[in-house]
Amino acid sequence: MAEQEMNFFHGDVDLDIIKKVKEAVSIPVIGNGNIVDGKSAKEMFEKTGCDAIMIGRASNGNPWIFNNIIKYLEDGTEILKPDNEEIKKTILRHLEMLSDFEGKEVALLEMRKHIAWYTKGMPGASAIRNEINQITDYDKLVNKIKEIC
């Protein structure tokens, strides 16, 4: 995507504009922008009156966010972060599904950014990222993922 285009997607969400859109149209409105957890999801619903929400960046490396938000909206509780074993299983499943979809070579390259997101905040995350980025063989990548978490 060109840099100029990317700039359209910067900045904070304006809930008031979404509210005005919701009031002006008779079709369902999906609220999106800066939703990162249950609290911000609830705020989007309450302040805009939107019919549904969409989550972009906060789901990178965090597919658990969807269930977590549903739970928060249901009863106000926050689910704990998944442990390393769960993260590892999810990365391996993600890699396998991506590989079925796009082939092993493309999946290997695409998974580099996803693994960086999944491992963000883990001890040694930057070293892990460096190692992963050197790997050009699919099976080696699988073995490395099994080692890291």
Ligand X SMILES: Cc1cc2nc3c(=O)[nH]c(=O)nc-3n(C[C@H](O)[C@H](O)[C@H](O)COP(=O)(O)O)c2cc1C
Residues that bind ligand X (CB under 6 A): 9, 32-35, 55-58
CB of 53 vs ligand X, minimal distance in Å: 9
Report the nearest approach of ligand X to the CB of residue 63 (Å): 14
Q: How far is the CB of 138 from ligand X (least distance, A)?
A: 26
Name residue, tokens 């599904």.
97
> Which residue lies nearer to ligand X by CB, 18 or 95?
18
Could you tell me the smallest distance in angstroms from the CB atom of residue 58 to ligand X?
6
Q: Which residues, in sequence order, are bridge partners of residue 30?
A: 52
Q: In this structure, how many other beta carbons lie within 10 angstroms of the beta carbon of residue 37?
A: 16
Least distance to ligand X, CB of residue 148, Å? 26
- How many C-beta atoms lie closer than 10 Å to residue 87's C-beta? 21
CB-wise, 65 or 145, nearer to ligand X? 65
**In angstroms, what CA-CA distances link 75 with 15, 30, 50, 59?**
24, 22, 20, 21
Contact 110, 100 (CB under 8 A): no
Output 44 or 145, the one with its CB closest to ligand X: 44
Residue closer to ligand X by CB (options 116, 142) is 116
The residue at minimum Cβ distance from ligand X is 56
For ligand X, the closer of residues 57 and 89 by Cβ is 57
Task: Check if the beta carbon of residue 98 is closer than 8 Å to that of residue 110.
Answer: yes
Distance CA 94, CA 39 (A): 27
